[in-house]
Structure 1
Amino acid sequence: MKKWVFFIFSLLQIVWLAGCTEKSYEPIERDQEFIASFNIQEPSLDFIDEDGNTLATWVFDQAYSGAVLLGDDRILLYGHQIGAIDVYTISTGEKRYSKKVAIGTTNVYYDDSIQQFFIANSKNNTVTSFDQEGNALATQQIGNYPMSMTSYKDKLYIVNFKDTKLSVLNMKNLMIEQEWPIQKSSHGIAVLEETHELWIGGHGEGSSPNRTVKKYDLTTGKQHGEIEMPLMPVGLKKTNDTVFVVSHGHNILYAADFAGTIKWQQEVGANPFVVEQFKDYIVVAGYDDHTLHFIKDGQQDKTVDVGKGAFQLLVREEK
Structure 2
Amino acid sequence: MKRIYILAAVAATALLSACSFESFDQIPKDTSIISTVNIKDMTISFYDMDNQEKLPDWRVDQPYTGGTILPDGDSLLLYGKTLETVDLYSLSEGKKIDSWETGEGIVNALLVGNGTEIAFADQNMESIRFFDMDGKKVKEVQAEKDPLTLIEADKKLYAISYNHEILTIIDLKNKERLPGFEIHPAAAGAIMSPEKDELWVGGHGKGTEIEERIHIYDLKTGKLKKEIPAPVMPVDFIKDEDSVFVLSHGSNMLYKLSGNGTKKDSIKVGANPFEIEVFEHKLIVAGYDSNEVYIIDPGSLSVEKTFRVGNGPFQIVTRERKQDESRKSTNHR
Counterpart secondary structure, 1:150:
strand
Structure 2: distance between partners of 1:156 and 1:95: 29
**Cα offsets for 1:121-151 (capped at 9, x unmatched):** 1122011000011100000111010010010
**Cα offsets for 1:161-214 (capped at 9, x unmatched):** 100011000123321112111112111111223323221110111210111111
Matches within 5 A, 1:54-203: 54-71=54-71, 72-111=73-112, 113-203=114-204
| Residues 220, 22 of structure 1: alpha-carbon distance in 2 compared, 3 angstrom cutoff | farther
Structure 2: distance between partners of 1:25 and 1:190: 35
Larger radius of gyration: 1
Determine the structure 1 residue equivalent to 2:272. 271
- Percent sequence identity is 33
**Cα offsets for 1:295-315 (capped at 9, x unmatched):** 112111121010000111112
Confirm or deny: 8 A CA contact 1:80 1:103 kept in the other structure: yes
Determine the structure 2 residue equivalent to 1:299. 302
Determine the structure 1 residue equivalent to 2:32. 33
Matched to 1:39, the amino acid is N
| Cα RMSD for the two superposed structures | 1.7
Counterpart secondary structure, 1:32:
coil
Counterpart secondary structure, 1:258:
coil
Counterpart secondary structure, 2:175:
coil
Structure 2: distance between partners of 1:229 and 1:83: 37
**Cα offsets for 1:240-280 (capped at 9, x unmatched):** 22111110111100011111111100111000111111223
Q: Which moved more, 1:181-190 or 1:111-120?
A: 111-120
Question: Shift of residue 101 of structure 1?
Answer: 1.1
Counterpart secondary structure, 1:42:
coil
Point out where structure 2 has 5 or more consecutive residues left out of the alignment: 1-19, 324-333
Q: Which TM-score applies when normalising by structure 1? A: 0.89
Q: Which moved more, 1:284-293 or 1:104-113?
A: 104-113
Matched to 1:170, the amino acid is D
Q: Which moved more, 1:197-206 or 1:45-54?
A: 45-54
Structure 2: distance between partners of 1:57 and 1:112: 32
Question: Shift of residue 219 of structure 1?
Answer: 3.4
Matched to 1:207, the amino acid is T
Determine the structure 1 residue equivalent to 2:23. 24
Q: Which moved more, 1:213-222 or 1:79-88?
A: 213-222
Runs of 4+ aligned structure 1 residues displaced above 4 Å come to none
Matched to 2:112, the amino acid is D
Structure 2: distance between partners of 1:262 and 1:112: 34
Determine the structure 2 residue equivalent to 1:17. none
Q: Which TM-score applies when normalising by structure 2? A: 0.86
Matched to 1:64, the amino acid is Y
Counterpart secondary structure, 1:194:
helix
Matched to 1:271, the amino acid is N
**Cα offsets for 1:14-73 (capped at 9, x unmatched):** xxxxxxx98232222331011111111112111112264213421111111211122222
Determine the structure 2 residue equivalent to 1:48. 47
Confirm or deny: 8 A CA contact 2:41 2:312 kept in the other structure: yes
Q: Which moved more, 1:109-118 or 1:142-151?
A: 109-118
Determine the structure 2 residue equivalent to 1:10. none
Structure 1: distance between partners of 2:155 and 2:219: 12
Matched to 1:286, the amino acid is G
**Cα offsets for 1:67-103 (capped at 9, x unmatched):** 1122222111111111111011222223231011121
| Residues 24, 252 of structure 1: alpha-carbon distance in 2 compared, 3 angstrom cutoff | same
Determine the structure 1 residue equivalent to 2:206. 205
Determine the structure 2 residue equivalent to 1:8. none
Aligned length: 299
Confirm or deny: 8 A CA contact 1:189 1:198 kept in the other structure: yes
